[in-house]
């Protein structure tokens, strides 16, 4: 079972404009010193929402990688065992599930993710930065030595922990074969869906906090009994608020990406530059059917309060005026 994500700093709630009011939570806005600026926890320009996040690299923490002594949270222990977990699920299947999780976010917002190698430097080591590792590192360690929190993720705040994702090696994982909305229990036993969990944690690494509604970024335990691997309108709106919409491969502007768009690219018609980049964009979006799900991006509302249930760890962020919490609790 999962509990709520902990956010000990204020989280702004924005209302997406669609058929009904929908809400999402972000890490920000926060004041910046005495200059009157505000910023959000995001990749790229932290002072500007709706601008691209660029290409963010990610890597797997190799099995056996220890935790650097500088990471003093006693809730985490042991060495990483992510590869072992992936092997138990079928390594290639698990890799494909994680890649799909990244692709879903880049398909709807202007941020890209690229896998790179990882040198195996200790988690939270000052050396755990590019080019030694990806900007986002994914590993699995024991959290509280039990089935407590199932995932932990770091916000993109500019130090060695930025964007890192840890799974609880004590939990049970599965690549569920069911459809969206199907139960996640197998013969009465709860298994975390690897793809859905990683989609959720990537959302945190992009700067999106928990919401109480049932979406990918839900922090509501009542929502965790059913598979949720596909981004919901609120998730998409949050990502687009921070990074803007993904460049579109709908070259013929008929609200889908199919073979006709490839012909438009071949012919170099008005909505495509006939560049290799446009071809790669078409390949990434072909058949996704995501364009129709994109909703309008709202203006930010004012900060509305603090979400707090329990904390796994808290630390001062290397930016002025606040402390932050970056842990996900059971299941999310």
E-strand ranges in 62-106 read 76-77
- Rounded to whole angstroms, how far apart are CA atoms 213 and 303? 18
pTM: 0.74
Supply the pLDDT for residue 148. Answer: 55
Beta strands in 42-191 (DSSP E): 54-60, 76-77, 111-115, 136-143, 151-153, 165-168, 173-174, 185-186, 189-190
**Domain 7-245+294-324: which topology?**
Collagenase (Catalytic Domain) (3.40.390)
How many secondary structure helices (H) and strands (E) does the chain include?
Answer: 6, 18
Q: According to the model, what pLDDT value does residue 270 have?
A: 65
The mean pLDDT values, 10 residues at a time, for the chain of 332 residues are 28 32 81 88 93 93 96 89 96 96 91 94 94 95 72 80 90 88 83 92 94 88 86 93 85 77 83 78 66 34 25 30 34 50
- Which DSSP helix (H) or strand (E) runs through 10? strand 7-16
pLDDT for the residue numbered 143: 87
pLDDT of residue 89: 95
Instruction: Identify whether the C-beta of residue 260 lies closer than 8 Å to the C-beta of residue 230.
Output: no
Is residue 239 a contact partner of residue 208, using CB atoms and an 8 Å limit? yes
pLDDT at residue 308 in the model: 21
In the chain, where the domains are located = 7-245+294-324
């Amino acid at each position: 079972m999962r509990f709520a994500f902990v956010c000990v700093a204020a989280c702004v709630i924005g209302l997406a404009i669609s058929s009904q009011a929908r809400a999402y939570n972000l890490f920000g806005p926060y004041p910046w010193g005495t200059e009157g600026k505000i910023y959000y926890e995001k990749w790229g320009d932290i002072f500007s929402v709706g601008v691209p996040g660029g290409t963010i690299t990610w890597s797997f923490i190799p099995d056996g990688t220890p935790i650097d002594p500088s990471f003093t949270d006693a809730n985490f222990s042991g060495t990483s065992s992510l590869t072992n977990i992936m092997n138990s699920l079928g390594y290639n299947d698990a890799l494909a599930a994680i890649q799909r999780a990244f692709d879903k976010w880049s398909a709807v917002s202007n941020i890209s993710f690229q896998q790179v190698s990882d040198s195996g430097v200790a988690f939270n080591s000052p050396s755990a930065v590019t080019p030694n590792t990806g900007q986002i590192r994914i590993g699995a360690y024991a959290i509280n030595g039990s089935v407590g929190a199932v995932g932990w993720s770091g916000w993109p705040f500019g130090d060695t922990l930025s964007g890192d994702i840890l799974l609880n090696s004590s939990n049970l994982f599965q690549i569920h074969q069911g459809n969206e909305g199907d139960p996640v229990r197998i013969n009465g036993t709860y298994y975390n869906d690897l793809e859905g969990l990683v989609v959720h944690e990537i959302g945190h690494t992009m700067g999106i906090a928990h919401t109480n509604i049932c979406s990918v970024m839900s922090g509501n335990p009542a929502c965790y009994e059913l598979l949720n691997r596909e981004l919901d309108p609120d998730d998409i709106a949050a990502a687009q608020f921070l990074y803007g919409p993904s460049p579109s491969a709908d070259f013929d502007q008929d609200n889908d990406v199919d073979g006709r768009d490839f012909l438009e690219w071949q012919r170099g018609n008005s909505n495509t530059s006939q560049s290799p980049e446009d071809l790669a964009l078409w390949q990434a979006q072909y058949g996704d059917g995501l364009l129709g799900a994109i909703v309008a991006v709202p203006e930010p509302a004012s900060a509305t309060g603090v979400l707090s249930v329990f904390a796994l760890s808290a630390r001062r962020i290397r930016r002025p005026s606040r402390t932050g919490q970056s842990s996900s609790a059971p299941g999310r």
